[in-house]
Amino acid sequence: SQQGEEDPQALSIQEGENATMNCSYKTSINNLQWYRQNSGRGLVHLILIRSNEREKHSGRLRVTLDTSKKSSSLLITASRAADTASYFCAGHGTGGFKTIFGAGTRLFVKA
Amino acid sequence: EPEVTQTPSHQVTQMGQEVILRCVPISNHLYFYWYRQILGQKVEFLVSFYNNEISEKSEIFDDQFSVERPDGSNFTLKIRSTKLEDSAMYFCATTGGSFQPQHFGDGTRLSIL
C-alpha cells in the first residue's frame, strides 16, 4: 500500500503554541503536499515540497522531508484559533497521477 | 481566485439508482481527479483523468464508476447502481500540471438510502 500515516491523530494546544504533525509514506514520491480541511469543506493546499528538497517555509508553516526515512513534518508556529482544522499529507507518486492521502491530524487550537 | 465548482452540494438517492456528480474545473487546468471521503475518514483517491482518458485508477474505482468530460468543460463522475457504502463526500480536484498542487472543490455529499 502507498498509504501515508500521520501522527498524532489529534492534537490540542493553546493559542500561541507551536503544532507539529508528522507523516510517513511507503513508496517513492515525486513530491509531498500538505493540505488543510475545515469541517465539511474541501481541501486547501498549503505547501508542496519536492523529493529533492529537505525543508520549505511558507509564512508560519515549515515543512521538512526526509526521503531516506520516508517521512515529513509540518510545523505551524504561533498557532491561532483559526488554525483549528484537519491537516493531511499527500504523497504524489513518481508516475505522475496518483496522490495518496494520509489519515490526517485533527488540530484544535484553544483561544 | 479561480475555483473548482462542484454540483450538487448534496445528493440523496435510493439504493440502486444512478447518480452523476459534476465538476467544473479551473479553466486552464488539464488534470482532473476524483476522491472520496467517508465521514470521519481519510481522503481516498478514485481516479485521475488527462487528455480525455483515465490515467490511473484505484481499486475502489470498479465497473460501477465511470468518468467523462462530455462537453469540454464539465468533468463528471457517474456511479451506477449505488450501494449504501457509496455514501460519502466526493471531491473533485484539478491541476495545471501533473506534479503541481491540486485545487479542490467543496465536494458533493452523497447519501444513499
Nearest residue in chain A measured CA to CA from B91: A42
pLDDT surpasses 70 at A13: yes
C-alpha torsion sign, points A49, A53, A57, A58: negative
Is the CB of A92 inside 8 Å of chain B's CB atoms?
yes
Question: What is the distance in angstroms between the Cα of A109 and the nearest Cα belonging to chain B?
Answer: 19
Q: pLDDT tens for residues A59-100? A: 999 999 999 999 999 999 999 999 999 999 998 887 767 888
| Residues A13, A84 contacting (CB under 8 angstroms) | no
**pLDDT in the model for residue A1:** 39
State the first-to-last Cα distance of chain A, in angstroms, to the nearest integer.
Answer: 39
For cell 469543506, name the residue: A41
**pLDDT in the model for residue A43:** 92
Question: Per-residue confidence at A4, pLDDT binned at 50, 70, 90?
Answer: low
A30–B104 CB contact, under 8 Å: no
Rounded to an integer, the average pLDDT of A2-6 is 60
Residue B101 with chain A: CB contacts under 8 Å? 33, 45, 48
Question: Per-residue confidence at A102, pLDDT binned at 50, 70, 90?
Answer: confident
By CB atoms closer than 10 A (0-12, 13-18, 19+), residue B21 is: buried
By CB atoms closer than 10 A (0-12, 13-18, 19+), residue B27 is: exposed
Mutate to test the interface with A, among B61, B94, B99 (most CBs of A within 10 A): B99
pLDDT surpasses 90 at A41: no
Q: Is the previous residue joined to B2 through a cis bond, with omega within 30 degrees of 0?
A: no
Residues 72-91 (B) with a CB less than 8 A from some CB of A = 91
Nearest residue in chain A measured CA to CA from B42: A103
Q: pLDDT tens for residues B3-49? A: 999 999 999 999 999 999 999 999 889 899 999 999 888 899 999 99
| Residues B44, B37 contacting (CB under 8 angstroms) | yes
Is the CB of A96 inside 8 Å of chain B's CB atoms?
yes
Nearest residue in chain B measured CA to CA from A4: B42
Rounded to an integer, the average pLDDT of B96-102 is 83
**pLDDT in the model for residue B92:** 96
Considering chain B, what percentage of its residues have pLDDT values greater than 90?
A: 74
Dmax (CA) for chain A in angstroms is: 43
Residue B43 with chain A: CB contacts under 8 Å? 43, 88, 90, 101, 104
Q: Which of A41, A44, A101 is opposite residue B42, by nearest beta carbon?
A: A101
Which among B49, B15, B11 is positioned nearest to B29, based on CA atoms?
B49
Rounded to an integer, the average pLDDT of B99-113 is 92
For residue B60, is it left (φ>0), alpha (ψ between -120 and 50) or beta? alpha
Rounded to an integer, the average pLDDT of A48-63 is 96
Q: pLDDT tens for residues A19-28? A: 999 999 888 8
**pLDDT in the model for residue B1:** 65
Q: Which of B4, B42, B98 is opposite residue A97, by nearest beta carbon?
A: B98
